[in-house]
Amino acid sequence: MKEPRNDKRFVERLRSRVSEAIIKYKQIEAGDKVLVGLSGGKDSMALLDTLVNRRKIMPFDFSITAVHIDITTIPYETDREYLQAFCDEREVPFLYVENDVMVEPKKEHKSPCFYCSWSRRKSLFAYALKHKYTKIALGHHLDDAVETLLMNMSYHGEFSSLPGKLKMFDGALHLIRPLLLLTNRELMRYSEIIGYRPLVRNCPFETVTMRNDAKEIIAQLSKINPKVKFNLFKSMENINEEYLPLGLLRDE
């Protein structure tokens, strides 16, 4: 089916923002082996689709492989056959890795999401290092970055968020986020256009995270200033140390 003209322009613009992120943060280079974390959610599926498209126009070659990490102790389901078909359609190899980590919600005041995420990352890193991938691509977007910024400031007293590119294991591996310049709303529309089908059943703990609290705070602030989300994101590249308390201490 041919895309409506306005959808076609939207898709081209969105994909160009992915290229912008790749170039701005120097995420992918010639010869890179990119491992895409494919959770089955709309963001990771959009990530894979856009990377496959960008590979066609980049002036250098790199490989893409998708991997789904299944935490068997969490009742989180996805359609394995659908993920395989999605990857086959884009001629991308698909891997399925299982992990049976124990999830203890009350231990050290950590949520089930912490243990699930930690285990997924651990499996992802281990597989990437073992098979000599150079980059791991995750589907975090602009909303995720702003929410993380707010959470880190509120709960850890730290001005930090999700970097576009993060060096790991002494440079043997880099974590990249090609969707970082895109909003959740844009990715929702993009996912509909490419025919994304939602998960069979989502995680049972998804409504009990601190991230949902951050989303609500940002939503309330947006009622006062619709640009608040973008301004918060922009603030991470526009730090005026002269007007920060610690700036004065460093000068003394």
Structure token digits, residue 26: 């120097």
Q: Where are the domains of the chain?
A: 5-205
Residues 97, 32: Cα–Cα separation, whole Å: 22
Mean pLDDT taken over the chain: 88
Higher pLDDT, 213 or 77: 213
Q: Please tell me the number of Cα atoms within 13 Å of 183 on its side-chain side.
A: 10
The CA distance from 24 to 62, in Å, is: 18
The per-residue pLDDT for 114 is 65
- C-alpha span between 204 and 126 (Å, rounded): 26
Segment 64-80, tens digit of pLDDT: 999 998 877 666 667 89
CB atoms within 10 A of CB 130: 8
Query: If you write DSSP's letter for every residue of 6-60 in order, what string do you get?
Result: HHHHHHHHHHHHHHHHHHHTT---TT-EEEEE--SSHHHHHHHHHHHHHHHHSSS
Poorest-confidence range of 73-82, 89-98, 134-143?
Answer: 73-82
pLDDT per residue over 20-30, tens digit each? 999 999 999 99
Q: Please give the share of the chain, as a percent, with pLDDT higher than 70.
A: 82
Count of helices and strands (H, E) across the chain: 9, 6
Highest CATH level, class, for 5-205? alpha beta
